Amino acid sequence: MNKKGQKRSMVLNQMEKGEIIGRKPHHALDENLRKRELELAGSTYAGCNNQHFISTLLSF
């Protein structure tokens, strides 16, 4: 196994042991905003297609 493979294996082992916690992407939505969008998608905008839902959200 080459160095890159060894490092990958080490990291995976650490993740399995719970020593490494996954990081949130820098462009991830705020948790409250994400929950609100899910609420709207399931209630007010239920049945809308994705494109209509996104364009409606962007108009606010």
Quick: pLDDT tens for 4-58. Answer: 999 999 999 988 888 887 778 889 999 999 999 999 999 999 999 999 999 998 9
Is residue 1 over pLDDT 90? no
- Which pLDDT score is estimated for 20? 80
- Which pLDDT score is estimated for 22? 73
* Residue 57 vs residues 2, 13, 24, 41, 46: alpha-carbon distances, Å: 48, 41, 23, 10, 13
Tell me the HSE value of 36 on the side-chain side, using a 13 A CA sphere.
Answer: 6
Q: pTM to 2 decimals?
A: 0.55
**Distance (Å, rounded) from C-alpha 39 to C-alpha 52?**
16
